[in-house]
Structure 1
């Protein structure tokens, strides 16, 4: 490996890492992104962004759509697996479907940072003026942006955390043939969300420009494959998607925010995105918090260019707590018994008011969350 040096080394080139680098593009800091993957690369994700994300990233949607998938979303089909579905319609576009392989590569290519792609992170050690990575990369600050399995996050959080805050997911995305598209009931402008009867997870179907995305995620689930197979059988029985067209699923994991404490910064080191465990506890949505945390980190790093000790980077942690809420003193538990909670949840999800205003408006679209103010 060739030796290299930089001010900021970002480990992970996904939306969190590339957004942080983009936020630092005019700072005068030398930013380097390290990722073991080469881009474009596959990423397990249903794949949609809200207008708030597009605005935050200053995306020219008309220009983006010329060469990338951008599917406007104006409706949803939701329900419990095995139960009736609720249709919700909007008068305007409330989200856009994207393909993560395209979206992530686009953000990385435009961020302005140097990159070392196809290179695995293998070691991290303290040196006098910062950090030494892989025995050859020197940096004043290390940013962990490598998702749930980020090696920087594991270095900062060596102890094992409670599994109840971790969601395991499996997903597949592929192009439909003309004959398959003719037999597919999923409509491009209307993603479909189906929740498990115990409300510990949900599955989805999403068609965007001829690409079908099907997946399921569950909290703390060790035997996800059998749950996935049951979900596929349900889709087949309902005639939503012919079972034979579903290809091999790929796995992923992420940590839900606010269910357990997590160390996200120390002297010269901080975590962003899924590495910091910022996925929405209600929907598992992680793109918006990934991008927001990356930009918040960039703002703090620009302010403290003469030093990056723990006291200074504490500002980043406070921004996270102010934006996403406090951590609990102990793992969160509900005082409502699970059977009652599930009964109430299933009843509410069959109503149009709850589905529109809480399930979709608040949990998935996060319409209650004001735009991020950067400073």
Structure 2
């Protein structure tokens, strides 16, 4: 049996950031993931300058060897209506490929790694977690996304009926002919909200790579909405008419609607495993990174790994992201005050789409970067 101080299940941005943040802690860390890296990951793929700052990544250096699409504008509208385009006058975000970005973060994480290693069993014996009858540690961190096996240990929380957002998307490298015909621009992602405001679709171009997708809170209508959106975008020339491959699905929880506990004796959840995606946008990379940084600080300072010692992590999450509303009737994307006949008017407003939708809900520009404090 191999002994560790902590085991992290999940090698995405949350898990790799936690291992990176604890690099000078002297703790022996094992990071497990069911897949080998680099691996495909369904995600629109964009990060704000705040994320790059928190991760101490120099965009210029990163962009020399990886896809990094500066974003200065957003094109926003409701499906079936004209879009509004806003120029922010500076780089407000970056388009990235998760295939590259996640591999970069994992590669720099100072930890032992067991990749292509699905978690088959988790047992608790004498204050130790035993994984696959092979590795053990007193602290187990779930960072494996919505379906993380560690999250299943803690259950769904009060009620057990969390609102799950389902999304489908495709990312591919365009041929030279497709790239010429595609009207979507790399520095101007497109966000198209469903008429009922229960979801939105996107078109993100990153150089010659194109990501198209749609996410909604009601899975049974997802494919119909996606097909309508793709057909409209193709008819208008925004995207190529010949899309390769099939759209892949994934799911996640929104922060205000997630009920699963964040911790218990000897266990913590971070990132999508904890249900931390921003409620208004569904964006999960920044919450994943920041939750990992907060967890690293708590792990460093904890006198032991009991729930009472780890409870400061839950408090830190609440202070950073706010108290969970736990009100499913508010819907997914928009607050109740937007979901009324004025929505169409608001979505045609340059001020509203820029100051509220983009800068506040999607970019969170009013929230300063979280710095590594361990």
Question: What TM-score does the superposition give when structure 2 sets the normalisation length?
Answer: 0.95
Q: Please say if 1:331 is aligned against 2:327.
A: yes
* 3-state secondary structure, aligned to 2:200: strand
Q: Secondary structure at the match of 2:53?
A: helix
Q: Rate the CA distance shift 1:158–1:363 in 2: closer, same or farther, 3 A.
A: closer
Shift of 1:333: 2.7
Match of 1:52 in 2: 50
What stretches of structure 1 move > 6 A for 4+ residues in a row? 335-340
Give the 3 Å change call, closer, same or farther, for CA 158–284 of structure 1 in structure 2. closer
Q: Which runs of 5+ in 2 are unaligned?
A: none
Deviation digits for residues 57-100 of structure 1 (CA, Å, limit 9, x no counterpart): 00021211111000000111110111110010011100011000
User: What's the RMSD between the two structures over aligned residues?
Assistant: 1.9
Matched residues in 2 for 1:101 and 1:334: separation?
34
Does the 8 Å contact 1:27/1:302 carry over to 2? yes
- CA distance in structure 1 between the partners assigned to 2:52 and 2:125 by the alignment: 39
Cα deviation code 1:105-153 (max 9, x no counterpart) = 0000001111000000111111113211111210110000000110111
Q: Where does residue 10 of structure 1 map in the other structure?
A: 8
For the residue of structure 1 that corresponds to 2:25, the secondary structure is coil
CA distance in 2, matches of 1:345, 1:319: 34
Residues 289 and 139 of structure 1, relative CA distance in 2, 3 Å threshold: same
Alignment partners' CA distance in 2, 1:151 and 1:260: 16
The 1-side partners of 2:355 and 2:156 are apart by: 39
Alignment of 1:151-170 (within 5 A): 151-157=149-155, 161-163=160-162, 165-170=163-168
Question: How is 1:243-322 mapped onto 2 (pairs within 5 angstroms)?
Answer: 243-304=241-302, 306-322=303-319
TM-score normalised by the chain length of structure 1: 0.95
SS in 2 for 1:245: coil
5+ long unaligned stretches in structure 1: none
The residue correspondences of 1:1-375 to structure 2 (distance < 5 A) are 3-157=1-155, 161-163=160-162, 165-304=163-302, 306-328=303-325, 330-334=326-330, 341-375=339-373
Distance 1:340 1:8, change over 3 A: closer
Over 3 Å counting, the alpha-carbon distance change for 1:373 and 1:211 in structure 2 is: closer
Deviation at 1:353, TM superposition (A): 0.4
- Provide closer, same or farther for how the CA distance between residues 110 and 254 of structure 1 changes in structure 2, counting only shifts above 3 A: same
Offset at residue 258 of structure 1 (A): 1.4
Against the structure 1 CA distance between its residues 263 and 338, is the aligned structure 2 distance closer, same or farther, given a 3 Å change threshold?
closer
Once residues 307 and 245 of structure 2 are traced to their aligned partners in structure 1, the CA distance between those partners, rounded to angstroms, is: 47
Q: Contact conserved, 1:198 with 1:342, CA < 8 A, in 2?
A: no
Q: Which one is further off, 23-32 or 252-261?
A: 252-261
Paired residues of 2:139 and 2:267 also in contact (CA < 8 A): yes
Alpha-carbon distance in structure 1 between the residues aligned to 2:360 and 2:299: 31
CA distance in 1, matches of 2:260, 2:203: 32
> How far did 1:244 drift?
1.9
Q: Structure 2 CA distance, aligned partners of 1:198 and 1:324?
A: 26
